[in-house]
Structure 1
Amino acid sequence: MECNGVRAVANKEALKWIDERQPDILCLQEIKALEDQIPKDMFEKEYQDIIVNSAIKKGYSGTMTWSILQNSYNSTCLDIDTMGEGRIVETHYDDIVLFNVYFPNGQKDEERLAYKMKFYDDFLDYCEKLRENGKSIIICGDVNTAHKEIDLKNPKANSKTSGFLPIEREWMDKLVNHGYIDTFRYVNGDEIDRYSWWSYRSGARLKNVGWRIDYFFISEDLAENLEDAFILDYIEGSDHCPVGIKLSI
């Protein structure tokens, strides 16, 4: 879940859904906090493995993975996240590798868009090397791009906006063509009006004028293990809502 500040959503009690659903692994993005600022007792469920990757810049970005499973290896992928923005938590569970990623936004300027595209390419290259070594891959997080026209309310009006630029969407095509499955579409087909992010402006959420920019991708070898993929768009407290999958492993 992209939470836009973990302390803020915790104060709003916007994480109560976690106690209700009790996921085995929880991935949060844009936590905007240092490790010592995060309450360890936020949830009823006891997570044995907690990894926090805070940005160098305080109050900015950051990712965090909570798990009932003990990872066999973890990394923050600084060869990809070269600016130290706390954008990746990589955890290995035997032959399965989970990536919790807060991909960069490219709206600031051309330089930032170029950084986003390099981040995309470096990340995919790294995933492919892991697959060559026999690993299965799960990618979750805020990809900061809507893939298809069905994935946002106003595709034509946003055709020149970062987050729906052809070059960004082409990278998502490349991801799929390399054998990564968009789990929500795999399970739910072409359901319309299903979004995970809404602008705070103009009552966008109330009108459901949104974008689906939060995803779970899995490598195709895990397809037979996929039982469900969902968007919890009724849960409020952030400009994003939670997304998730159920895998039988």
Structure 2
Amino acid sequence: MRFVSWNVNGLRAVMKKGFEEIFSEFNADVFALQETKLQEGQIDLDLAGYHDYWSYAERKGYSGTAVFTKEEPLQVIHELGMPHLDTEGRVVALEFPELWFVDVYTPNAQNELARIDHRMEWDDAFREFCKGLEAGSLPAGAQAAAPKPVVMCGDFNVAHQEIDLKNPGPNRGNAGFSDEERGKFTELLDAGFTDTFRHTHPDLAGAYSWWSYRFNARANNAGWRIDYFLVSDELVPRIKGASIYSEVFGSDHCPVALELDI
């Protein structure tokens, strides 16, 4: 199966920059978006051969996630099950016969870590949510499901290691490279998940998925790798490839992809 993830930083804007052509060229089995910045009914998008599922933020023009899939899922979950964390449309989880697929747009800790407490609570809740899917323990209101592995992807808003950003020294302690956020990502991996790109390319530097719009960052490849595919450890033998498509423009992020033998 071919999975693709892309933070589009506003889907309506990217629609004017060739989104449908880019989408078609990838020919993914599952294509996940983050930061759609949409409310229901604000876009007319019919991608032939795909089922589409959307999570919307209560706040207009903010956050939002979506998943397009060739195979119709057994069920779809749009919330972690914690009302105070479920107002920003940050999760779409789809159950398939072989696995759970989770699309996530992790909250940004913001300048001077103004939202770090919220971020820490989110990271803990999201980790428990994914472990629950693995174990067949689902949020209230979801259908019963057998235990099965998880494929998760999205903008996790953290560069995990120094190799994952161009300038680690000046950014240490800043949002996206704070000890707190990096520590929570380590906890997620330690809970039984694998960073597929780093597993496949353990020593590859200069591979980034996000660049600031300032200071010619993308032209200079002064970027961060904050978009990931993680899989339950049991799926690691099935990894056939993990890629970052830095040549694809239209957003301040680029698409990332995963190939699994399923």
TM-score bin (small chain): over 0.9
Q: Which residues of 2 match residues 159-198 of structure 1 at below 5 A?
A: 159-198=172-211
* Residues in 2 aligned to 1:90 and 1:215: alpha-carbon distance in whole angstroms: 16
| 7, 14, 23: which one aligns with 1:2 | 7
- Distance in 1 (CA, whole Å) between partners of 2:89 and 2:193 is 24
Contact 2:7/2:35, CA 8 A, preserved across alignment: yes
Equivalent in the alignment of 1:94? 97
Equivalent in the alignment of 2:144: none
- 1:170 and 1:125 map into 2 onto residues whose CA distance is 16
Other-structure match for 1:50: 52
- CA deviation profile, 1:76-100 (whole Å, cap 9, x unmatched): 1152462510100011002411110
Are 1:214 and 2:227 an aligned pair?
yes
State the Cα deviation string for residues 87-143 of structure 1 (Å, max 9, x = none).
Answer: 000110024111100000001455511101100001111211222232201110000
Alignment correspondent of 2:76: 74
Rounded to whole Å, the distance in 1 between the matches of 2:113 and 2:22 is 38
Q: Which runs of 5+ in 2 are unaligned?
A: 1-5, 137-146
Identical-pair percentage: 39
TM-score using structure 2 length = 0.90
CA contact (8 A) 1:9 1:15 kept: no
Matched, 1:123 2:136: no
User: Which aligned segments of 4 or more residues in structure 1 are displaced greater than 3 angstroms?
Assistant: 108-111
CA distance in structure 2 between the aligned counterparts of 1:110 and 1:8, rounded to whole angstroms:
28
3-state SS, counterpart of residue 72 of structure 2? coil
Q: Does the 8 Å contact 2:165/2:208 carry over to 1?
A: yes
Q: Which amino acid aligns with 1:100?
A: D
Distance in 2 of aligned mates of 1:110 and 1:203: 25
Say how many residue pairs are matched: 246
1:35, distance to aligned residue in structure 2 (A)? 2.9
Counterparts of 1:84 and 1:91, CA distance in 2: 19
1:140 and 2:153 matched? yes
Q: Unaligned regions of 5+ residues in structure 1, if any?
A: none
2:243 pairs, out of 203, 208, 230, with 230
Which whole-Å CA distance do the structure 2 matches of 1:97 and 1:242 have between them? 20
Displacement of 1:50 after TM fit?
A: 0.8
